[in-house]
Amino acid sequence: MAENPTLPDPRPGLIRPTRVRRDSRRGVLTFEAQRRAARRQAIYEAVSGASGAALAFFMWGHMLLVGSILTGSRGFDWVASGLEHIYVAQPTVVIISVLFFVHAALASRKIPSQLRERRRMRDLARSLARPLDAPPGAASRATPHLESSLWIWQVRTGMVVLVFGAAHLLLIGIDLFTPMFGERVGIEAASSSERVAEGLVIPYAILLLAVEFHASVGLYRLAVKWGVGSRLSRRTLLAIERVILFGFLGFGAITLVVLAGWVDPPLAFLTEGL
């Protein structure tokens, strides 16, 4: 079988020949396969971005609902049981679980799968921590390309979110559909607080850091990718991203220490009549 032909090189020594596929039925060159592949990748990218954005907004809403623990156990149980009673919580967990794994599968296309590729990404991350003209052993706070650094850390935090987030979804599913961890079927403040206090505070702290960074940077990169940056400067988008990141990190940290029982709920007086 003859090899695929190459396009002629108009500037020898400067431009590498480009291989194209031959249509075996007609014996002519075609880019149809390349167009189909590009269209398929564009669809994957759109679905990945849409599912990621949906998960980010859900996560912030979920954090606000979990933050009801700041009003005490009665406030937390009132919110949780109310959502379960009108059958909002149960289908939401199923839908979010599906979205979570769809997004993970599509986003994993960008994660280096081979050890050699991961080493190259590690070397790139190290090189971005010093000026372009600095010697290899020199360290610096300067970052020549912020976008590349954000992408590398988004990949890293995505791996963390995949592991810890899947475990969290499993626990929430067990709470919602079985009485394994509590006195009844459903999410309860007592069982949730006990679980955090007896060993899950560190994993949840890691998940909080990873998911907030991954979500805020992901929305920033989506805004740049889909043209929001043409109306808002990247500096403005980065400022918005940092406000979202540190705002929800602070709120999540307060919620976590209350769940762990380290401090009393500061807004418990709001639920005295419940």
Token pair for residue 128?
Answer: 């971005």
Give the SS3 label for residue 22.
Answer: strand
Q: What domains, with CATH codes, occur in the chain?
A: 47-264 (1.20.1300.10)
As beta bridge partners, residue 23 has: 28
Cβ partners under 8 Å of residue 112, min gap 6: 118, 120, 121, 155
Average pLDDT, consecutive stretches of 10 residues, N- to C-terminus, the chain (274 residues): 46 44 49 79 90 95 94 93 91 95 88 65 63 46 64 89 94 87 83 90 96 94 80 86 95 96 91 74
Give the start-end residues of each E strand in the chain: 21-23, 28-30
Which residue in 51, 46, 45, 154 sits closest to 97, CA to CA?
51
- pLDDT value of residue 122: 66
Cα 160 to Cα 163: distance, rounded to the nearest angstrom: 5
Model-level pTM? 0.77
- pLDDT value of residue 19: 47
- pLDDT value of residue 148: 78
